[in-house]
Amino acid sequence: MELVATFSYLDIYLHTSACPVLEMHWKGFVSSINFRQAIKTGLQLARQHQIKGWLADDRQLGAVRPTDLDWSFSYLHEALAELGVDRFALLESAETLNRFIIGHKYDETALPFEFRRFASAEEARAWLCD
């Protein structure tokens, strides 16, 4: 696992195996502009490294505005599918309201790849490359 980008609110890791995976490890609250820029950076890295899986580690993610969440779903998910990403793993936020809002968004959205929630990063990583 290689750290490929870091910000005060996010670390982005690349798993360079037979199954390349990008891992977005959120570290706390992030402003709207930084949230959107982080998603764009992640997608740019996904293209550059031709990833097959995406791990959103939201455990420490602070509150996300609904408009930013809607934007991220329309901006990111279709682009990932076009890149050939076939699995998306989520480690849910420890913050109850955030977990509920993001979880509800995933439940109501038809995603263009396989999606699962996990309790541990190890389980998520294993599933992404299974």
pTM of the predicted protein model: 0.93
Which pLDDT does position 18 carry in this prediction?
Answer: 81
CA–CA dist 127, 50 (Å, integer): 18
Query: CA-based angle 116:31:123, to the nearest 5?
Result: 20
Range of the domain at 9: 2-128
Give the chain's mean pLDDT: 94
Residue 130 — very low, low, confident or very high, per pLDDT cuts 50/70/90? confident
Phi, psi of 113 (to 5 degrees): -155, 170
Which pLDDT does position 119 carry in this prediction?
Answer: 92
The total number of structural domains in the chain stands at 1
Q: What is the CATH number of the domain that holds 88?
A: 3.30.750.24
3-state secondary structure of 88: strand
CA–CA dist 103, 40 (Å, integer): 21
pLDDT tens digits, one per residue of 13-33: 999 878 899 999 999 999 999
